[in-house]
A and B are shown apart, each in its own frame.
Chain A
């Protein structure tokens, strides 16, 4: 169905189901319980899950398939956001023109940056993309202030032309049908679940983008990209110029990033230069590797993981910890809190760092490999050998 085999179709359906049911799945704890702070089902965070999921899926098309590690993908994210906000400023609050423009502009940027950077491979390629991204960041931050509004960030003012604006438009919307921020809250006993229009728009797009990436992975084009990653020397002596293929992969992944940037600005009509900073580029690399580079579902898992940590772990502060460990004797309580507090709150990066190291050392295939190992253990010994065989013959899955 849809040009997918059974296994891929199953994966697509799982991703679609997870995306559609996320408001329930991410709010498993009753609103008033002590665990409610681990609930991630609020619109702002759910939007980030799927938007960064799109970003990471796109990044994986480049890194996972061709092995070219770009350290500058945040540039495309930022360019996408700026394009969308400009459409808000010039036309009106309908998000469609903005999102289309963000993909196109990011694609054009990717053609230029990719054309130059792909002259080199390995670490030199990474450094070139990093340099381009930092140049873009600095241009946005200072030099191009008339276009980007510098360090304040680009936003919509009432004095903007907005040639197509109607009186009722005050926030981003889809053809006037629904506002991105409109949320329906369902109260169910002690639980409450938020259904946000913006989230569902992003989620549908993510499922579509996931589908597209499966198609790319399974196509002759994807096979050629895997060949490029596998052996450049043989590729060169196979009589095929690999550059158009790698450039196409670079541009496609840049357009994914542009789409993610456009969606970020559509949910919240702001664009700042910090979105293009190298830490943002590094984040998508972490997401992809943490989840499992070269696997289909890994980047989505990784994006969810990192965004969850960033938003949930960072909210745990000293008071919360004292509440948790209150049952311990005073001296011990203070000692435990003193240790743990470094790993939560503003120290959440420390936890992420430790987790990342563990994954890279013990699960080179990322969290997906972890999941596969658990599945294999559950299935028992006989199918164990079969499972190993399948992973061996299809290492990229």
Chain B
């Protein structure tokens, strides 16, 4: 049994079968990539996983509990954190404040009127946030306005914000889309580091084969709304069906 179990999921938009009989099992503490050509249903599948879309049939279970019909914040409380295609951070806040918000959320909220630095509880939160920033090598930027950072640093911060809540499953939606090569490599290194240091399951939807083959332990190939094959990266690379459907001649 995987930590995330998708069973017989179908989703139809009018005449378009976006997802047809999708079965997927993500093993705990593995890195699982979902790839596929444009229009294969990757985004639809992701939206089903995070409860944004409710499938017509089928079930999505996370650690034995259904995620369907739950609100985003409830799904997050179950231990699923999401990283978006365009980094979603609090652009009006400083980097440190950005890091504090998820820690507030994880602990006991923020219904308090005293000054932020004034109590032991708050000091602990700041400390925790600074510690997290240090591990991301972002401590120097903690008082910067987060909207003015580079794309790569925004991504780093976003991943850090997710990790600060100690999620069990990290869902990444094309984490390196629109990034310069150097930023892409930094992101790959960061994800590798996370994988090595933590007990965490990572599910990643990605276009960039370089990213997929550097990180993934299992790969599911989606084509026209259904899983074509699921296997290890080496097998996928040489798989004739995959070549045909997706990688084309360049592979």
Contacts and interface: CB of A to CB of B under 8 A. Distances in A.
B102 A238 contact: yes
A241 B104 contact: no
Interface stretch (A156-164, A190-198, A214-222): A214-222
A237 B72 contact: yes
19 contacts: A215-B115, A219-B116, A220-B104, A223-B97, A223-B101, A223-B104, A223-B116, A224-B104, A224-B110, A227-B93, A231-B88, A236-B72, A238-B101, A238-B161, A240-B104, A248-B111, A393-B94, A393-B144, A395-B92
Contact of B88 (A3, A234, A396): A234
Given A239-B73, A240-B105, A393-B145, 11 more contacts: A219-B116, A220-B112, A220-B116, A226-B90, A231-B90, A234-B88, A234-B90, A234-B158, A236-B71, A237-B72, A239-B77
B105 A396 contact: no
A245 interface: yes
A219 B76 CA distance: 25
Contacts of B44: none
B92 A226 contact: yes
A66 B92 CA distance: 12
Contacts of A242: 73
A39 B102 CA distance: 52
Interface of A: 3-5, 215-216, 218-221, 223-224, 226-227, 229-231, 233-242, 244-245, 248, 392-396
Given A238-B73, A239-B102, A230 B92 contact: yes
B112 A239 contact: no
Q: List the 5 closest pairs (A to B, CB-CB), nearest first.
A: A239-B76, A240-B105, A220-B110, A230-B92, A230-B90
A238 B110 contact: no
A306 B12 CA distance: 55
Given A219-B116, A239-B165, A393 B110 contact: no
A226 B98 CA distance: 10
B100 to A, nearest CB: 7
Interface string B125-150: 00000000000000000011100100
A393 B165 contact: no
Contact of B115 (A3, A234, A237): A3
A355 to B, nearest CB: 27
By secondary structure, the A interface counts as helix
B109 A240 contact: yes
Nearest to A216: B113
Contacts of A221: 110-113
Contacts, number: 110
B105 A219 contact: no
Interface string B65-96: 00000011100110001101000111111100
A386 to B, nearest CB: 13
B191 to A, nearest CB: 18
Nearest to A5: B115
B148 A392 contact: yes
A188 to B, nearest CB: 42
B119 to A, nearest CB: 9
B122 A220 contact: yes
Contact of B145 (A3, A216, A226, A392): A392
Contacts of A234: 88-90, 158, 161
Contacts of A229: 92
B106 interface: yes
B110 A223 contact: yes
A238 B105 contact: yes
A231 B102 CA distance: 13
A187 B234 CA distance: 94
A215 B113 CA distance: 6
Nearest to A8: B115
A226 B88 CA distance: 15
A230 B106 contact: no
B93 A230 contact: yes
Contacts of B104: 220, 223-224, 240
A230 B147 CA distance: 10
A239 B105 CA distance: 6
B89 A231 contact: yes
A119 B55 CA distance: 24
B73 A237 contact: yes
Interface in B163-183: 165
Contacts of B111: 220-221, 244-245, 248
